[in-house]
Amino acid sequence: MENTLENALKLASQGVPVYPLATNSKVPLKGTHGYKDATTDNEQITAWFNNNQQLNVGLALSPALLLVVDLDRQHASGYDGITAFNQLNKRYGNSTENPLHTYALKTPRDGIHLFYKLPDSVNIPNKPLASFSQQLRDYKGIDVITTGTPAPLTVTKNGRYETIAGTGVTNIGDAIECPNWLLMLLTSEPKQIQHYRTSTHKTWAGELLDNVFKPNADVGNRNVYLTSVCGKLLRTGSSSSVAYDALCTANSNLPTPLPDKEVNQIFKSVLKREMQKVR
Protein backbone atom coordinates (compact mmCIF):
# COMPACT_ATOMS: atom_id res chain seq x y z
CA MET A 1 0.00 0.00 0.00
CA GLU A 2 1.24 3.51 -0.81
CA ASN A 3 2.42 5.64 2.08
CA THR A 4 1.01 9.11 2.68
CA LEU A 5 3.70 10.98 0.74
CA GLU A 6 3.44 8.65 -2.25
CA ASN A 7 -0.34 9.00 -2.23
CA ALA A 8 -0.16 12.80 -2.11
CA LEU A 9 2.42 13.00 -4.92
CA LYS A 10 0.39 10.61 -7.08
CA LEU A 11 -2.76 12.68 -6.67
CA ALA A 12 -0.88 15.90 -7.39
CA SER A 13 0.56 14.35 -10.57
CA GLN A 14 -3.03 13.89 -11.76
CA GLY A 15 -3.59 17.63 -11.44
CA VAL A 16 -5.37 17.66 -8.08
CA PRO A 17 -3.88 20.06 -5.48
CA VAL A 18 -3.44 18.48 -2.05
CA TYR A 19 -3.11 19.74 1.51
CA PRO A 20 -2.46 18.17 4.95
CA LEU A 21 -5.19 16.95 7.28
CA ALA A 22 -4.65 16.17 10.95
CA THR A 23 -3.98 12.59 12.04
CA ASN A 24 -7.14 10.41 12.17
CA SER A 25 -9.20 13.40 11.08
CA LYS A 26 -10.80 15.30 8.20
CA VAL A 27 -9.81 18.61 9.82
CA PRO A 28 -6.95 20.63 8.25
CA LEU A 29 -3.62 20.40 10.05
CA LYS A 30 -3.26 23.04 12.77
CA GLY A 31 -1.53 26.13 11.43
CA THR A 32 -2.69 25.57 7.84
CA HIS A 33 -5.68 26.91 5.91
CA GLY A 34 -7.07 23.70 4.49
CA TYR A 35 -7.93 23.63 0.79
CA LYS A 36 -6.80 27.27 0.45
CA ASP A 37 -3.20 26.05 0.96
CA ALA A 38 -3.48 23.16 -1.50
CA THR A 39 -0.74 22.72 -4.07
CA THR A 40 0.69 20.38 -6.70
CA ASP A 41 4.25 21.48 -5.92
CA ASN A 42 6.31 18.38 -5.09
CA GLU A 43 8.69 20.26 -2.81
CA GLN A 44 5.92 21.62 -0.61
CA ILE A 45 4.10 18.30 -0.56
CA THR A 46 7.29 16.53 0.51
CA ALA A 47 7.82 19.09 3.27
CA TRP A 48 4.36 18.39 4.61
CA PHE A 49 4.26 14.63 4.46
CA ASN A 50 7.80 13.21 4.33
CA ASN A 51 8.41 13.34 8.07
CA ASN A 52 4.85 12.71 9.21
CA GLN A 53 3.28 9.66 7.63
CA GLN A 54 0.42 9.81 10.14
CA LEU A 55 -1.15 12.85 8.49
CA ASN A 56 -4.09 12.50 6.14
CA VAL A 57 -4.37 14.06 2.69
CA GLY A 58 -7.03 16.52 1.56
CA LEU A 59 -8.03 17.32 -2.02
CA ALA A 60 -8.83 20.82 -3.30
CA LEU A 61 -11.63 20.32 -5.81
CA SER A 62 -12.30 23.67 -7.45
CA PRO A 63 -8.76 24.25 -8.84
CA ALA A 64 -8.92 20.76 -10.40
CA LEU A 65 -12.38 21.49 -11.87
CA LEU A 66 -13.84 18.66 -9.79
CA LEU A 67 -17.10 18.27 -7.94
CA VAL A 68 -17.99 15.63 -5.35
CA VAL A 69 -21.51 14.35 -4.77
CA ASP A 70 -21.56 12.99 -1.22
CA LEU A 71 -24.17 10.26 -0.70
CA ASP A 72 -24.72 9.66 3.01
CA ARG A 73 -26.31 6.39 4.20
CA GLN A 74 -26.51 7.62 7.81
CA HIS A 75 -27.79 11.15 7.24
CA ALA A 76 -29.07 13.07 10.26
CA SER A 77 -32.44 13.56 8.55
CA GLY A 78 -32.97 9.81 8.42
CA TYR A 79 -32.86 9.82 4.62
CA ASP A 80 -30.56 7.55 2.62
CA GLY A 81 -28.51 9.61 0.15
CA ILE A 82 -27.78 6.66 -2.12
CA THR A 83 -31.49 5.88 -2.49
CA ALA A 84 -32.22 9.59 -3.05
CA PHE A 85 -29.56 9.85 -5.78
CA ASN A 86 -30.89 6.77 -7.56
CA GLN A 87 -34.36 8.35 -7.52
CA LEU A 88 -32.90 11.61 -8.82
CA ASN A 89 -31.13 9.79 -11.65
CA LYS A 90 -34.27 7.87 -12.52
CA ARG A 91 -36.29 11.07 -12.77
CA TYR A 92 -33.82 13.39 -14.51
CA GLY A 93 -31.05 11.17 -15.85
CA ASN A 94 -30.24 10.03 -19.34
CA SER A 95 -30.43 6.29 -19.94
CA THR A 96 -27.28 6.48 -22.12
CA GLU A 97 -25.04 7.62 -19.27
CA ASN A 98 -24.48 6.00 -15.90
CA PRO A 99 -23.46 8.58 -13.26
CA LEU A 100 -22.07 5.80 -11.04
CA HIS A 101 -19.40 4.87 -13.60
CA THR A 102 -16.92 7.46 -12.39
CA TYR A 103 -14.14 7.73 -9.82
CA ALA A 104 -15.70 7.04 -6.42
CA LEU A 105 -14.73 6.56 -2.78
CA LYS A 106 -16.40 4.53 -0.06
CA THR A 107 -16.57 6.66 3.10
CA PRO A 108 -16.00 5.40 6.66
CA ARG A 109 -19.75 5.48 7.36
CA ASP A 110 -20.57 3.39 4.28
CA GLY A 111 -21.48 6.38 2.11
CA ILE A 112 -20.16 7.17 -1.36
CA HIS A 113 -18.25 10.13 -2.80
CA LEU A 114 -18.80 10.44 -6.57
CA PHE A 115 -16.24 12.59 -8.42
CA TYR A 116 -17.17 14.51 -11.59
CA LYS A 117 -15.25 16.88 -13.86
CA LEU A 118 -16.74 20.34 -14.31
CA PRO A 119 -16.60 22.68 -17.30
CA ASP A 120 -14.31 25.67 -16.86
CA SER A 121 -15.82 28.84 -15.34
CA VAL A 122 -18.76 27.01 -13.71
CA ASN A 123 -19.36 28.21 -10.16
CA ILE A 124 -21.29 25.76 -7.98
CA PRO A 125 -21.73 26.40 -4.24
CA ASN A 126 -20.76 23.96 -1.52
CA LYS A 127 -24.07 22.96 0.17
CA PRO A 128 -26.75 20.25 0.51
CA LEU A 129 -28.43 19.32 -2.78
CA ALA A 130 -31.86 19.94 -1.24
CA SER A 131 -30.89 23.62 -0.79
CA PHE A 132 -30.32 24.29 -4.50
CA SER A 133 -33.96 24.65 -5.52
CA GLN A 134 -37.53 23.78 -4.63
CA GLN A 135 -37.56 20.87 -7.08
CA LEU A 136 -34.63 19.28 -5.21
CA ARG A 137 -35.84 19.87 -1.65
CA ASP A 138 -36.94 16.25 -1.15
CA TYR A 139 -33.59 14.74 -2.16
CA LYS A 140 -31.99 14.75 1.28
CA GLY A 141 -28.86 12.89 2.33
CA ILE A 142 -26.89 14.35 -0.61
CA ASP A 143 -24.24 17.06 -0.28
CA VAL A 144 -22.51 18.86 -3.14
CA ILE A 145 -18.84 19.53 -2.34
CA THR A 146 -16.70 21.96 -4.35
CA THR A 147 -14.12 23.08 -1.75
CA GLY A 148 -12.08 20.34 -0.07
CA THR A 149 -12.59 16.64 0.64
CA PRO A 150 -10.57 13.74 2.10
CA ALA A 151 -8.39 11.82 -0.33
CA PRO A 152 -8.39 8.04 -0.73
CA LEU A 153 -6.59 6.24 2.12
CA THR A 154 -7.63 8.94 4.61
CA VAL A 155 -8.12 7.29 8.01
CA THR A 156 -10.50 8.63 10.66
CA LYS A 157 -11.76 7.20 13.95
CA ASN A 158 -14.70 5.75 11.99
CA GLY A 159 -12.66 4.03 9.28
CA ARG A 160 -10.95 4.63 5.94
CA TYR A 161 -11.83 6.34 2.64
CA GLU A 162 -11.24 3.72 -0.04
CA THR A 163 -11.43 3.72 -3.83
CA ILE A 164 -14.40 1.75 -5.19
CA ALA A 165 -13.04 -0.56 -7.86
CA GLY A 166 -16.40 -1.64 -9.28
CA THR A 167 -17.03 1.66 -11.08
CA GLY A 168 -14.39 0.91 -13.72
CA VAL A 169 -12.51 4.16 -12.96
CA THR A 170 -9.51 3.81 -10.64
CA ASN A 171 -7.74 7.18 -11.09
CA ILE A 172 -9.20 10.46 -9.95
CA GLY A 173 -7.91 12.11 -13.12
CA ASP A 174 -10.22 9.86 -15.15
CA ALA A 175 -13.43 10.99 -13.43
CA ILE A 176 -16.21 11.43 -15.98
CA GLU A 177 -17.75 14.76 -17.00
CA CYS A 178 -20.57 15.83 -14.72
CA PRO A 179 -23.78 14.47 -16.32
CA ASN A 180 -25.62 17.21 -18.19
CA TRP A 181 -28.86 16.66 -16.29
CA LEU A 182 -27.08 17.05 -12.94
CA LEU A 183 -25.15 20.10 -14.11
CA MET A 184 -28.40 21.72 -15.24
CA LEU A 185 -30.02 21.07 -11.84
CA LEU A 186 -27.05 22.64 -10.05
CA THR A 187 -26.69 25.72 -12.25
CA SER A 188 -30.13 26.61 -13.64
CA GLU A 189 -31.76 29.79 -12.39
CA PRO A 190 -35.09 29.42 -10.56
CA LYS A 191 -38.06 30.29 -12.75
CA GLN A 192 -39.45 33.76 -12.16
CA ILE A 193 -43.07 33.67 -10.99
CA GLN A 194 -45.39 36.63 -11.19
CA HIS A 195 -46.44 37.66 -7.70
CA TYR A 196 -49.97 38.74 -6.95
CA ARG A 197 -52.32 39.00 -3.99
CA THR A 198 -55.79 37.48 -3.88
CA SER A 199 -56.72 39.04 -0.54
CA THR A 200 -56.60 42.51 0.96
CA HIS A 201 -54.87 41.20 4.08
CA LYS A 202 -52.45 38.41 4.88
CA THR A 203 -53.94 35.51 6.82
CA TRP A 204 -52.18 33.46 9.50
CA ALA A 205 -51.81 30.63 6.97
CA GLY A 206 -50.40 33.04 4.40
CA GLU A 207 -47.80 34.27 6.86
CA LEU A 208 -46.83 30.69 7.68
CA LEU A 209 -46.40 29.87 3.97
CA ASP A 210 -44.19 32.95 3.58
CA ASN A 211 -42.10 31.74 6.53
CA VAL A 212 -41.60 28.33 4.92
CA PHE A 213 -40.99 29.31 1.30
CA LYS A 214 -39.60 32.84 1.64
CA PRO A 215 -37.82 32.80 5.01
CA ASN A 216 -36.18 36.00 6.22
CA ALA A 217 -33.45 35.30 8.74
CA ASP A 218 -29.76 36.15 8.84
CA VAL A 219 -27.03 33.87 10.15
CA GLY A 220 -27.39 35.16 13.70
CA ASN A 221 -31.05 34.34 14.24
CA ARG A 222 -31.70 31.22 12.16
CA ASN A 223 -32.28 29.02 15.22
CA VAL A 224 -34.82 31.41 16.72
CA TYR A 225 -36.56 31.82 13.37
CA LEU A 226 -36.84 28.08 12.69
CA THR A 227 -37.98 27.41 16.26
CA SER A 228 -40.85 29.86 15.74
CA VAL A 229 -41.73 28.34 12.36
CA CYS A 230 -41.66 24.83 13.83
CA GLY A 231 -44.09 25.78 16.59
CA LYS A 232 -46.51 27.31 14.08
CA LEU A 233 -46.33 24.23 11.85
CA LEU A 234 -47.10 21.84 14.69
CA ARG A 235 -49.97 24.02 15.89
CA THR A 236 -51.70 23.65 12.53
CA GLY A 237 -52.57 20.10 13.59
CA SER A 238 -50.58 18.50 10.78
CA SER A 239 -48.77 15.22 11.36
CA SER A 240 -45.29 15.53 12.84
CA SER A 241 -43.72 14.06 9.68
CA VAL A 242 -45.37 16.72 7.49
CA ALA A 243 -44.32 19.47 9.92
CA TYR A 244 -40.74 18.14 9.87
CA ASP A 245 -40.61 18.13 6.06
CA ALA A 246 -41.97 21.70 6.00
CA LEU A 247 -39.36 22.79 8.54
CA CYS A 248 -36.61 21.26 6.39
CA THR A 249 -38.01 23.18 3.42
CA ALA A 250 -37.90 26.44 5.39
CA ASN A 251 -34.30 25.72 6.37
CA SER A 252 -33.27 24.86 2.81
CA ASN A 253 -34.72 28.18 1.64
CA LEU A 254 -32.60 30.21 4.06
CA PRO A 255 -29.65 32.05 2.44
CA THR A 256 -27.35 29.98 4.68
CA PRO A 257 -29.15 26.81 5.86
CA LEU A 258 -28.43 25.30 9.25
CA PRO A 259 -26.83 21.84 9.38
CA ASP A 260 -29.40 19.02 9.46
CA LYS A 261 -28.28 18.06 12.96
CA GLU A 262 -29.34 21.47 14.33
CA VAL A 263 -32.66 21.36 12.46
CA ASN A 264 -33.36 17.95 13.98
CA GLN A 265 -32.57 19.26 17.46
CA ILE A 266 -34.94 22.20 16.96
CA PHE A 267 -37.72 19.92 15.77
CA LYS A 268 -37.35 17.44 18.62
CA SER A 269 -37.28 20.22 21.21
CA VAL A 270 -40.36 22.03 19.86
CA LEU A 271 -42.27 18.77 19.34
CA LYS A 272 -41.63 17.78 22.96
CA ARG A 273 -42.81 21.20 24.13
CA GLU A 274 -46.00 21.08 22.07
CA MET A 275 -46.79 17.54 23.25
CA GLN A 276 -46.44 18.66 26.88
CA LYS A 277 -48.96 21.45 26.21
CA VAL A 278 -51.49 18.90 24.94
CA ARG A 279 -51.11 16.80 28.06
Question: What tens digit of pLDDT does each residue of 35-46 get?
Answer: 999 999 999 999
pLDDT of residue 193: 45
pLDDT of residue 202: 66
Q: Which residue has the higher pLDDT, 166 or 155?
A: 155
Query: In this structure, are residues 18 and 152 in contact, taking their beta carbons and an 8 Å threshold?
Result: no
CA distances from 242 to 255, 259, 268, 279 (A): 23, 19, 14, 21
Query: In this structure, are residues 262 and 223 in contact, taking their beta carbons and an 8 Å threshold?
Result: yes
Q: What is the mean pLDDT of residues 150-167?
A: 94
Q: What is the mean pLDDT of residues 130-135?
A: 90
Cα–Cα distance measured from residue 10 to residue 43, given in angstroms and rounded to the nearest whole number = 13
Say whether pLDDT at 114 is over 90: yes
How sure is the predictor about 181, in pLDDT bands with cuts at 50, 70 and 90? Answer: very high
Which amino acid, one-letter code, is at 217? A
Q: What is the mean pLDDT of residues 86-95?
A: 85
Q: Which residue has the higher pLDDT, 200 or 108?
A: 108
pLDDT of residue 198: 53
Q: State the chain's mean pLDDT as an integer.
A: 88
DSSP sequence for 211-264: HHHS----GGGHHHHHHHHHHHHHTTT--HHHHHHHHHHHHHTSSSPPPHHHHH
pLDDT of residue 201: 66
Render pLDDT for 219-273 as a digit per residue (tens, 0 to 9): 668 888 899 999 999 988 888 888 898 888 888 888 788 888 889 999 999 998 8
CA distances from 133 to 22, 127, 190, 209, 213 (A): 35, 12, 7, 16, 11
pLDDT of residue 190: 52
What is the greatest pairwise CA distance in the chain? 72
Task: Give the lowest-confidence range in 21-30, 48-57, 70-79, 163-172.
Answer: 70-79
Cα–Cα distance measured from residue 61 to residue 66, given in angstroms and rounded to the nearest whole number = 5
Helix, strand or coil, per DSSP, at residue 47: helix
Render pLDDT for 45-87 as a digit per residue (tens, 0 to 9): 999 999 888 999 999 999 999 999 999 987 666 788 999 999 9
pTM of the model: 0.68
Query: In this structure, are residues 167 and 99 in contact, taking their beta carbons and an 8 Å threshold?
Result: no
